[in-house]
Amino acid sequence: MSKVFVLDHPLIQHKLTYIRNKNTGTKEFRALVDEVSALMAFEITRDLPLEETTIDTPVMEAKTKVLSGKKIGLVPILRAGLGMVDGILRLIPAAKVGHVGLYRDPETLKPVEYYIKLPTDIEERELIVIDPMLATGGSANDAIHSLKKRGATNIKLMCLIAAPEGVEVIQKEHPDVDIYLAALDEKLNEKGYIIPGLGDAGDRLFGTK
């Protein structure tokens, strides 16, 4: 069964409160999502493997550590996942970025895929699928199936806020995919919105309605 990590670092929780607040405008919302994404990336990369190297400091030779060349790929789910990309890239600048375009049909709540473009070597990469919201789980579930169909074997899912319903879907369909969250909320409302949530992540990020 996949593990669920709720990243309870005080800075993440503090910023998430402002992200949730309906009085936070687009500019500030975007900046906060970017900052929280960077803080979450710090936690999600905790288990990256290191190897020893030898360098000369100005004083003497020293045995130190560097990342052992693990290849990372970020896969934002369009649109709202885009808001999390730059924050993560600040910490992992060498990561490649693939895109999966999905929207949720407002009537059926089922995801509709309209775009996919991935790095050619996804089977060698640790992929981090990113989307602020894991609601019914339909979008993330489809995106992960799409990646697996194309050869991906090592996938993590990173979201700001999840509903228990969405977590359950991912755990059932993808027991190999660990889930990293800033918050696990109470439930979905009748329109499939996470409550208390933050509203429509794409609209709040891009100023649309």
One symbol per residue from 138 to 177: x for binding ligand URA (CB under 6 A), - otherwise; what is it?
----------------------------------------
- The answer to whether the annotation marks 161 as part of a ligand binding site is no
- The answer to whether the annotation marks 136 as part of a ligand binding site is yes
* Alpha carbon distance 70, 124 (integer Å): 9
- The answer to whether the annotation marks 197 as part of a ligand binding site is no
* Catalytic annotation, pick one of 26, 53, 203, 208: 203
Q: Which does 194 bind (CB under 5 to 8 A by kind): ligand PRP, ligand URA, none?
A: ligand URA
- The answer to whether the annotation marks 60 as part of a ligand binding site is no
Closer residue to ligand URA, CB minimum distance, 53 or 108: 108
Within 10 A of 148 (CB to CB), how many other CB atoms are there?
17
108 flagged as catalytic:
yes
The token pair at 177 is 């995919």
Q: Which does 166 bind (CB under 5 to 8 A by kind): ligand URA, ligand PRP, none?
A: ligand PRP
* Alpha carbon distance 180, 183 (integer Å): 9
Contact between 124 and ligand URA per CB under 6 A: no
- The answer to whether the annotation marks 135 as part of a ligand binding site is yes
DSSP E strand stretches across the chain: 4-6, 50-56, 61-67, 72-78, 96-97, 99-104, 111-117, 126-130, 133-134, 154-162, 178-184, 187-188, 194-195
Closer residue to ligand PRP, CB minimum distance, 64 or 108: 108
Q: Do 134 and 160 form a contact (C-beta atoms < 8 A)? A: no
Q: Do 78 and 99 form a contact (C-beta atoms < 8 A)? A: yes
Q: Do 143 and 130 form a contact (C-beta atoms < 8 A)? A: no
* Catalytic annotation, pick one of 17, 26, 64, 108: 108
Closer residue to ligand PRP, CB minimum distance, 44 or 75: 75
Contact between 111 and ligand URA per CB under 6 A: no
The residue assigned the tokens 């999840």 is: 162
Residues that bind ligand PRP (CB under 6 A): 77-80, 103-104, 109, 111, 131-140, 166, 192, 200-202
8 flagged as catalytic:
no
SS3 193: coil
Residues annotated catalytic, as ranges? 104, 108, 200, 203
Please state the residue numbers annotated as binding site for uracil.
194, 199-201
Please state the residue numbers annotated as binding site.
79, 104, 131-139, 194, 199-201
